[in-house]
């Protein structure tokens, strides 16, 4: 998951929901592991690789500097917004029911039950090869004011 500068579609959507409702619904338990990578770390890596001739035609995983659960990631977003942590855990069946009505609203047309699966599924990627071969060193998940726009 790439985040940062208020331009991503993951963290920004969580921020939007927290600001609007004052709470955030987690579908399932939110135990899936994440390794968010800041967009500036991605840009810095791309820039470094342009001139790295010794690693041409190779593929690398790049991921964030720490592993955290989806629930912990949401808690950190609350903290960055200086808001009390209000998380509501919703069972899978309640989201299925809500989807039935939400699909008729343009803003929620793309929501699906797969969103629940993603919240509880691990999305962690080993970036040791990138670190060893070209010094990839991502920051931990931390939101600055410029990431909250």
pLDDT tens digit sequence for 12-67 = 999 999 999 999 999 888 899 999 999 999 999 998 888 777 777 888 999 999 99
Alpha helices in the chain (DSSP H): 11-21, 39-50, 70-80, 92-102, 114-120, 128-134
Residue range of the domain that includes 104: 2-139
pLDDT tens digit sequence for 84-98 = 999 999 888 887 788
Residue 144 lies in a domain: no
Residue 44 lies in a domain: yes
Model confidence band, residue 117 (pLDDT cutoffs 50, 70, 90): confident
Residue 66 lies in a domain: yes
Note the pLDDT of residue 55. 79
Question: Where residue 15 sits, what CATH number does that domain have?
Answer: 3.40.50.720
pTM for this predicted structure? 0.86
Note the pLDDT of residue 71. 95
What is the domain count for the chain? 1
Note the pLDDT of residue 33. 96
> β-strands 33-34, 87-90: how paired?
unpaired
Note the pLDDT of residue 43. 95
Residue 145 lies in a domain: no
Model confidence band, residue 111 (pLDDT cutoffs 50, 70, 90): confident
Residue 69 lies in a domain: yes
Residue 147 lies in a domain: no
Residue 148 lies in a domain: no
Residue 90 lies in a domain: yes
**Helix, strand, or coil (residue 68):** strand
Q: Are 95 and 58 in contact (CB under 8 A)?
A: no
């Amino acid at each position: 998951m790439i985040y940062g500068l208020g331009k991503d579609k993951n963290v920004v959507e969580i921020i939007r929901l927290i600001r609007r409702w004052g709470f955030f619904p987690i579908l399932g338990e939110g135990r899936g592991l994440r390794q968010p990578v800041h967009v500036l770390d991605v840009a810095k890596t791309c820039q470094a690789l342009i001139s790295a001739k010794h690693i041409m035609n190779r593929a690398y995983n790049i991921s964030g500097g720490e592993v955290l659960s989806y629930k912990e990631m949401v808690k950190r977003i609350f903290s960055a917004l200086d808001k009390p942590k209000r998380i509501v855990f919703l069972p899978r069946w309640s989201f299925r029911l809500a989807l039935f009505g939400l699909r008729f609203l343009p803003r929620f047309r793309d929501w699906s039950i797969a969103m629940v699966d993603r919240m509880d599924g691990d999305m962690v990627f080993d970036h040791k090869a990138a670190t060893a071969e070209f010094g990839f060193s991502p920051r931990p998940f931390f939101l600055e004011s410029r990431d909250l726009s």
